[in-house]
Amino acid sequence: MNVLICSTGSRVKLVQYLKEALVDDGKVIAADWERYSPAFDAADDYEIIPHMEEEGYLEAVLEVCKKHAVKGLLPLMDEEAEILSAAREQFSEIGVSLVLSSAEIVEYCCDKLKTYEYLERAGLPGVPTFDKVREVEQLLEQGDLEFPLIVKPEDGKASQGVQMVKNNADMEKLVAQDGEFIMQPYYKDREFGVDVYVDQISGEMVDMFIKEKYEMNGGATDTSISVHDARIETLMKDLVASMDFSGPLDIDCFEHNGKYYISEINPRLGAGYLHAHEMGCNFMDYLVRNLVGESNPPYEGYRYEKDVVMMKYMDVMLRKITEEEG
């Protein structure tokens, strides 16, 4: 059974984890638009494809799946999750299962305003999110909202273009800018990341890993500590029960004034998943089991030790350029 990971970049560890889960029962194929993606060397085979925003991306992924007789497809970026989930039928026709929630759910997750509106309807605590400056100004005037505010481009990713609005003068500068924005209050006394796996057959939550974030780089967690927290655990159970998620989820939560709020729901493996995996929450085993038609036992409690720190560090890889590449 061959599995394709898209947008591998430098996710060497993820490729290695999946190879370990497959053992000798299949191959891991890596696909990326970067010619020298480090993850290529860790995979059993690799393919260079167009960037997800370029013409021909979807067709290239479909061709890679046919060429390598791929059974499962694991995307690592929100933007490609939207493209691939919308084309689920095309992949199904060639025998490929997406390790991904439905197109409708992916759309909710990838739009922060829709995420907040969904959480409101479901009665779950989300970070208040607005896309109309006048509405925010009125709430500030009424005392129902306070500075500082976090302002993000509507289509932003990896913390790009994020601004802090601290006062009315900053607000006036924001109004003068071009572009579409979303605005949120700064709820960040503490920040947590939660890795969740929802069984693709039973629809039940299989595992959960909670980490408090200490150092971030480009939206990815570089340093974190494992946490046991009953309130976050209950919040995640309620979230999964409220929507038909499938596969891995990367969820961000903030603590503010002693309360927890869901900030983002990413319908994929997050960069901080490494911490969960190294602590025994093996999502790769779960997804491989699902791909062969078997469900996983439901979640029964923490499967990891608390107060263990994960610290990423830089490494270097060298390889000779082949004649074909040259």
pLDDT at 321: 82
Domain end: 144, 159, 185, which one?
Answer: 185
Q: Is pLDDT above 80 for 178? A: no
Q: What is the pLDDT of residues 28-59, one digit of tens each?
A: 999 999 999 999 999 999 999 999 999 999 99
Peptide bond into 128 cis (omega under 30): no
Are 91 and 45 in a shared domain?
yes
> What pLDDT was estimated at residue 134?
82
**Closest-CA residue to 106 (of 211, 243, 200):** 243
Distance, in Å, from the CA atom of 223 to the CA atom of 96, rounded to the nearest integer, reads: 35
- State the greatest distance between any 2 C-alpha atoms of the chain, in Å, as a whole number: 67
Q: Which pLDDT belongs to residue 154?
A: 66
Find the helix packing angle between 103-110 and 112-121, rounded to 10°: 110
Residue 101 is classified by DSSP as: -
pLDDT over threshold 90, residue 99: yes
Asked whether the predicted pLDDT for residue 153 surpasses 80, the reply is no
Q: Which DSSP helix (H) or strand (E) runs through 50?
A: none
**CB proximity list for 315: less than 8 A, separation 6 or greater:** none
222 band by pLDDT with thresholds 50, 70 and 90: confident
Could you tell me which residue, 65 or 317, shows the higher pLDDT? 65
pLDDT at 158: 53
The CATH number for 27's domain is 3.40.50.20
CA dihedral 213, 214, 220, 222 (to 10 degrees): -120
Per-residue tokens: 205: 């939550």
- Say if 110 falls within a structural domain: no
Examine residue 171 and state whether it is found in any structural domain, yes or no.
yes
**Secondary structure element (H or E) that encloses residue 222, with its range:** strand 220-227
Residue 41, classed as helix, strand or coil, is helix
Query: Which domain-ending residue is among 59, 80, 100?
Result: 100
Q: Is the pLDDT of residue 326 over 70?
A: no
CA gap 182, 113 in Å, rounded: 7
Average pLDDT of the residues in 302-325: 87
Strand pairing report for 2-6 and 247-256: unpaired
Tokens of 289: 């089991």
Backbone angles phi and psi of 38, in degrees to 5: -55, -30
CATH for 256: 3.30.470.20
Give the pTM.
0.92
CB 111 within 8 A of CB 82: no
How far from chain centre, in Å, is Cα 110?
A: 9
Task: Output the domain CATH number for residue 153.
Answer: 3.30.1490.20
Q: Are 291 and 209 part of one and the same domain?
A: yes
Mean pLDDT over 116-144 rounds to 92
Element (H, E) at 176: none
- How much of the chain exceeds pLDDT 70, in percent? 95
**pLDDT category, 285, cuts 50, 70, 90?**
very high
Quick one: 163 and 237 in the same domain? no
pLDDT, averaged across the chain = 92
Position 188 scores a pLDDT of 78
> Is the domain of 33 the same as that of 67?
yes
Is the residue at 320 inside a domain? Answer: no
Instruction: Please indicate, yes or no, whether residues 20 and 72 belong to a single structural domain of this protein.
Output: yes
Q: Which residues are within 8 A (CB) of 313 and not within 5 positions of it... i.e. 6 or more apart?
A: none
In a domain, 141, yes or no: yes
Burial of 320: CB neighbours in 10 Å, binned 0-12, 13-18, 19+: exposed
Q: How many structural domains does the chain have?
A: 3
Statement to judge: residues 304 and 197 lie in one domain: yes
Q: What was the pLDDT predicted at 325? A: 67
Q: Are residues 194 and 303 in the same domain?
A: yes
Residue numbers of the domain that contains 223: 188-311
